[in-house]
Amino acid sequence: MNEHYPFVNPPLPYAYNTLEPFIDEKTMELHHNRHLQTYVDNLNRILKNYPEYHTLSLEGLLFYLDSLPEELQTPVKNNAGGVYNHIFFFSNMKNPATQTPAFPCNSYINTVYGSFDAFLNAFRAAALSVFGSGYAWLVMDVFGRLKIITTANQDTPLSLRLQPILNLDVWEHAYYLKHYNKRDAYITDWFHVIDWDKVSRNCSSPFPLY
């Protein structure tokens, strides 16, 4: 994730069919091999003639979005965001997965939401509330407080100075082949493949200040 230009599409940390029957093989293949690949290719094309930014990481590009030349801001937001959000999403899934968070993540969640089930309900409601394309996120602010937010398109919490802990892609391409237009059924299936071991580590990792 800390690589810089030219960016590459890292292989998934599991096979395309690993998340079956919750998320189908064809969806994972198209999502990784076509959707994410397109964002990687576009980002490299956009940055090609700006060598001064070739040492910046994905996180750096997104964190410092406002400092980039104006003509780069929207294309970098969309495409570096598309790369970051997808790699993060793919890296937080596993099957079979640990179904509950570990300490201290579970304790943070209970403090804010009362219980793990209440957290899942709140996350589901947020994911259902995204109108059109975007993501639901669990993030941590600079004071270590957890929060559920939604973002449109390929916007990222990094640009809001928030640390990503967990995200769910609710663009239709993430679920349409298997779940058609039933986002709620997709969310229920996705709950089975959240890698809570990994997410719990995200809770404890330092804020990516650049």
Point out which residues bind Mn ion (CB under 5 A): 169, 171, 174
**Of 50 and 176, CB closest to Mn ion:** 176
Whose CA is closest to 156, among 87, 204, 53?
Answer: 87
Rounded least distance, CB 77 to Mn ion, Å: 15
Rounded least distance, CB 170 to Mn ion, Å: 9
Cβ(179)–Cβ(186) under 8 Å? yes
**Of 63 and 90, CB closest to Mn ion:** 90
Rounded least distance, CB 153 to Mn ion, Å: 11
**Of 119 and 190, CB closest to Mn ion:** 190
Q: Which residues pair with 163 in a beta bridge?
A: 140
**Of 87 and 174, CB closest to Mn ion:** 174
**Of 141 and 172, CB closest to Mn ion:** 172
Rounded least distance, CB 173 to Mn ion, Å: 6
Rounded least distance, CB 23 to Mn ion, Å: 12
Q: Where do we find the tokens 């940055």?
A: 47
Residue nearest to Mn ion according to CB distances in the complex: 169
